Amino acid sequence: MKGLLLKEFYNIRMVFIFYILIVIFIAFIGLGTDIKGSFGEDEIPTIEEIQKTGILTLLPVIFISGFYPGNMLVSSFGFDEKAHWTPFILSVGVKKPKILLSKVILHFFMVLILCIPFFISLFIVDADFDLNIYVGLILTFFSSCLISGSTSLLICIVVGSNKGVVIGSIISIFTSALPLLFIAVPLVDPMMMSQIWLFSLIGFLICGVGLYLLCYFLSLYIFKKREY
């Protein structure tokens, strides 16, 4: 497994550097602006208005950070197909579940790395967040990563990376944005702002974890049946 992971990191190292720079740029863009200062001098913003403005500032970071780990899975499969890596590694006795597991570990590692700019921006953005909103935004971030990664994994297994690079990218755009719907209700209704963690928890458990497990086992089943 260590050798498989080193191969994955070696293949996507330049892609990863490019992606992490974009995420860092997105995370810090606009953070120098005082959210409270965006209101008029004579206008006293409510806590709900400040919270809503801060959340809207962080939504692009959640979307971009959720999209890139899944997209890097597509890149990883693409490198393997071009080098005919899978038939070779199977010929030396490595089992298919271990190969697929290395892709999953790669995805989780990229999520952990790419969440760093998100966490930094989350805690330095000038908004009066309470604990419920912090929890809700973090759950939404991980939901976005899980949904995008699970769909990218399944697409690459079913149609291959060459065909899946366009399909996977398009679907990842929508699946990365899907968890944001779970915080749309609290944003529209300020009275429900304190319950944002509840909507995000539902999205995380049902859409995030549930879809990831489903896509992983379905991908594993298809991968085992495929002949190389």
Chain centre to alpha carbon of residue 12: 17
Q: Select the more confidently predicted residue: 90 or 228.
A: 90
Residue 36 has pLDDT above 60, yes or no: no
DSSP label of 92: T
Among residues 189, 181, 171, 169, the alpha carbon closest in space to that of 207 is found at 181
- pLDDT tens track for 52-68: 666 777 777 777 767 77
Structural domain boundaries, residue 38:
2-225
Please compute the mean of the pLDDT values over residues 72-77 and round it to a whole number.
Answer: 79
Task: Indicate if the pLDDT at residue 29 is higher than 70.
Answer: no
Report the chain's mean pLDDT, rounded to a whole number: 75
Per-residue model confidence as pLDDT tens digits over 121-162: 777 666 667 777 788 888 888 888 888 888 888 888 888 767
Q: Which of helix, strand or coil describes residue 33?
A: coil
Q: How many residues comprise the chain?
A: 228
Q: For residue 90, is pLDDT > 60?
A: yes
Region 20-33 average pLDDT: 63
pLDDT single digits (tens) 164-188: 667 777 777 777 777 777 777 777 7
pLDDT at 143: 83
Mean pLDDT for 73-77 is 79
Question: How high is the pLDDT of residue 228?
Answer: 64
Determine the Cα–Cα distance for residues 44 and 52; give it in Å rounded to an integer.
Answer: 15
As given in the structure block, the two tokens for residue 32 are 């120098």
Cβ burial of 121 (10 Å; 0-12, 13-18, 19+) is buried
Domain count, the chain: 1
- Express each pLDDT in 96-115 by its tens digit: 888 888 888 888 888 887 77
Looking at residue 3, its pLDDT comes to 75
pLDDT tens digits, residue range 186-221?
Answer: 777 767 777 777 878 887 888 888 888 898 899 888
Residues 6+ apart with CB under 8 A from 45: 36, 39, 53
| Better-scored residue on pLDDT, 139 or 48 | 139
